[in-house]
Structure 1
Amino acid sequence: MLSTVVLAVTGIALLAMPHGQEPPAPARTAAPAAHAPTAPTPAASPLSAGKPAAGAAPSMSATSAPAAVESALPPHGEGAVGDGAIQKALEAAWPPDLPARDERELLAAGRDLLRADATGIGRVRWPHVFPAEALAPAFATTRFRIQAAIARRDGAGNRAVVHLVWAGTDRGGTFTDGRISDWRFTRITTSKGASTWTPQPQT
């Protein structure tokens, strides 16, 4: 009896509906957005729209730096006052994973390599990285500044990468900060048992 009443009510409702009109489809519930994974690797830069130095390492892509880094960064043009905030943001995003001695060695070499790449100063120290036919330096030696730098492991094995954020004035006189470059290293062990971090040529 109950089923008969239900069928009758449904039939009346369908007859009362204008011809050609279909009953509304049930609303769909939007699926929750997936969180995109982020992975470290800090030169088109997520911090700057400026171009990289000639021969500089490939920049971190927009997905390579965690959102926390970008949100914690000071505004462009802040000057040296904002460098400390950038350094803290990098360290918070990528906690240390190297022995302190290795980190110091890598940071010193990474800073010198970036300066050599951008300004040309000291390129003779790394002939395998800067061969004679390497591109001419694109940045003036004045107003070149490394804003922040960290050294971390680069995957498995004896590899490491130095992430650097820097500022500089190009040959046209345009100053841009927030540039990002990566320099990769491999630990080489000699026949006498000594080991050192050797920079890899840019590809």
Structure 2
Amino acid sequence: MTTTPPSPRLLLLNTVLLAVAGMALLGMPHRQQPQTPVAAPPAAPTTEPSLMAAMPSVHRPPAAGAPASTAPESSTPSAVESALPPHGEGATGDRALQRNLETAWPPDLPVADERELLTAGRALLRADATGLGRTRWPAVFPDTDQAVAPAFATAGFRIQAAIARRDGSPNKAVVHLVWAGTDRGGTFTDLRVTDWHFTRTVKKGAATWTPLSRT
């Protein structure tokens, strides 16, 4: 059996096609090998801005002669910061704030003691901010016989939340209060924080809680 040789025309066509294919391959860019990404060095830890930058000033009873609400201090426990809701929440925010405070600081006082401390703490704060009822605590407000303009107006004054807890000893306690009020300049501010400290005293065989003097 004999095989017919390919025609010269077919051989020429194949040669041209192979040449074109070779030139196309030579003209293509070489494929770059994938590079292994270099892991970036871990970022150095950063310190988040203090929560106090977005919080109202924290207050404790200041030195004699100045209202407690006008003396900022940063020693209030940070749990207050995390429990504070946004400003301007109104009564709804007050209820949420009270729940948050109670969750942050579980009760650690007998119910009767807590009730007594809360009643006294609320009255002390109102007397300190508005000037009403200061004569009840002459040791705390020794300037009751002087004409002292209150730092905050009675109208608009509101205690938003309050809790009483031990203060490092069964015979010491602190009342944490969050409140709102309008100052002399007419500026209303809520989420103000004030602490009142108490010590347990015994009079005529009965124990009672006495607010600590500022002197």
Query: Are the structure 2 counterparts of residues 126 and 75 from structure 1 closer, same or farther at C-alpha, using a change threshold of 3 Å?
Result: same
Equivalent residue, structure 2, for 1:95: 106
Equivalent residue, structure 2, for 1:20: none
User: Greater RCO between the two (CA within 8 Å, min separation 6)?
Assistant: 1
1:125 to 136, 142, 159: 136
Equivalent residue, structure 2, for 1:197: 209
Question: Secondary structure of the residue that 1:155 maps to in structure 2?
Answer: coil
Equivalent residue, structure 2, for 1:10: none
Equivalent residue, structure 1, for 2:34: none
Q: Which shows bigger deviation, 75-84 or 56-65?
A: 56-65
Contact 1:123 1:130 in 2 (8 A): yes
How far residue 126 of structure 1 moved from its aligned partner, in angstroms, is 0.3
Equivalent residue, structure 2, for 1:15: none
Equivalent residue, structure 2, for 1:187: 200
Please tell me whether Structure 1 or Structure 2 has the larger radius of gyration of its CA atoms. Answer: 2
Q: Which shows bigger deviation, 80-89 or 52-61?
A: 52-61
Cα deviation, 1:31-80, whole Å, max 9, x if unaligned, reads 989xxxxxxxxxx99731488894317666277223xx544532101112
How far residue 110 of structure 1 moved from its aligned partner, in angstroms, is 0.1
Contact 1:55 1:135 in 2 (8 A): no
How far residue 137 of structure 1 moved from its aligned partner, in angstroms, is 2.0
TM-score of the superposition, structure 1-length normalised? Answer: 0.70
Whole-angstrom distance in 2 between the partners of 1:137 and 1:110: 18
Q: Does 1:47 align with 2:55?
A: yes
Equivalent residue, structure 1, for 2:172: 159
Whole-angstrom distance in 2 between the partners of 1:158 and 1:197: 9
Paired amino acid for 1:177: D
Whole-angstrom distance in 2 between the partners of 1:199 and 1:156: 15
1:73 to 58, 74, 84: 84
Note the residue ranges of structure 1 that are not aligned, 5 or more in a row.
Answer: 1-26, 34-43
How far residue 29 of structure 1 moved from its aligned partner, in angstroms, is 7.5
Query: Are the structure 2 counterparts of residues 64 and 86 from structure 1 closer, same or farther at C-alpha, using a change threshold of 3 Å?
Result: same
Query: Are the structure 2 counterparts of residues 50 and 150 from structure 1 closer, same or farther at C-alpha, using a change threshold of 3 Å?
Result: closer
Contact 1:186 1:200 in 2 (8 A): yes
Whole-angstrom distance in 1 between the partners of 2:58 and 2:150: 16
Number of residue equivalences: 165
TM-score of the superposition, structure 2-length normalised? Answer: 0.66
Whole-angstrom distance in 2 between the partners of 1:128 and 1:45: 34
How far residue 125 of structure 1 moved from its aligned partner, in angstroms, is 0.3
Q: Percent identity?
A: 67
Contact 1:117 1:123 in 2 (8 A): yes
Note the residue ranges of structure 2 that are not aligned, 5 or more in a row.
Answer: 1-39, 47-51
Cα deviation, 1:72-99, whole Å, max 9, x if unaligned, reads 5321011122001111111111100000
